[in-house]
Structure 1
């Protein structure tokens, strides 16, 4: 048995291939991803890819998982405070930063960019496999409800309303329709403020919490 094949039974080779695939997506987009290119980037053989993942779809899933792991690590780094509205602003900033710094990976994560016939994340897959990452924002919103900063909306309604804002803004900024310099103060902050005000938060407190979280001048 060759040394290359014997290495296939351990985790490091799988991690190496996933990292190589993520680098290809990040540098050249979903169109650059192929078994041969991933193997070359990882310095191994195409046999390694098939032995570890079995198919291209499984490799893409691993890349998507890596993207959600990176996003979750940003959320984990945000220590909860007594101001859940400010925490929500910081989580929003972390989400947007993730999309800014990993635009190609972000597009694959949410099925915006497809790898061949593979749609990276279907709604069912997101609900079952990767919702834990976004549930961290849901937990922050629930704390805001418990502290009477927001009204109870039932189920995941608040989280989906927040996600519509964060994802929509990230996509518009990533596409160049919104500039990174002016977008946060002209668009993102007002959207977040109006969102929490509409869900029951007094405007004055909402403006202070959100603007402070986004490092913007206070009104």
Structure 2
């Protein structure tokens, strides 16, 4: 497949992904057409087809791009001697990524486009983000910070808490930025106290 030459390929891919995400978030699935996405990015419709193949390929890349950005945010979290602090830092990275990419968040975790279903390859590509959470939880259990439990099960609950908070936050249901952060901290403080060993 020939790549567009009028701008950097990775830059163009990102611009098209963001244009598609913003159309989906602001105008709904019906607005997500290759023509509208191309217009938003200032390129020809052919450029969308050259980069993604078709509209389905664009939606798939929007989905994967959201998780690529989440993985990058997780990878930037420093590793310290405190396993709980590191776990909470992942939570803050999750929230920061959601706030930075609200136009991709719903596609990552919801079904705004009913006909889109991640295939096995896409599912395998996004699994490392959840594996990083499991590893952080397993470390808390292993080092005695959390009561003995199956890390994967705990990770599901922690992920659900983070997702619920972020979904409310993105809709403005938690108040302003200061109030939202307070709700987030209080919820995770309660969770950690419930999970602490002893």
TM-score (norm: length of structure 1): 0.75
Q: Which residue of 2 aligns with 1:40?
A: 39
Question: Is the radius of gyration larger for structure 1 or structure 2?
Answer: 1
Matched with 1:55 is: 54
Q: Structure 1: state its 5+ residue gaps.
A: 203-219
Structure 1 contact 111–119 (Cα < 8 Å) conserved:
no
Match of 1:109 in 2: 108
- In the alignment, structure 2 segments of 5+ residues that lack a partner are none
Q: State the shift of 1:178 in Å.
A: 0.7
TM-score (norm 2): 0.81
Q: What CA deviation, in whole Å up to 9, does each residue of 1:1-36 have, x standing for no partner?
A: xxxx85359xx5476144323234236625442111
Aligned pair 1:67/2:66, yes or no? Answer: yes
Q: Report the equivalent of 1:152.
A: 148
1: CA distance, partners of 2:136 / 2:61: 27
Query: Displacement of 1:130 after TM fit?
Result: 0.7
Describe how 1:44-193 pairs up with structure 2 within 5 A. 44-114=43-113, 117-119=114-116, 121=118, 127-154=123-150, 156-179=152-175, 180-185=177-182, 187-193=183-189
Do the aligned partners of residues 184 and 125 (structure 1) sit closer, same or farther apart at CA in structure 2, a change above 3 Å counting? farther
How many pairs does the alignment contain? 193
CA 1:51–1:7 in structure 2 vs 1: closer, same or farther (change >3 Å)? closer
- Within the candidate set 15, 18, 21, 1:22 is matched to 18
Give me the CA root mean square deviation.
Answer: 2.8
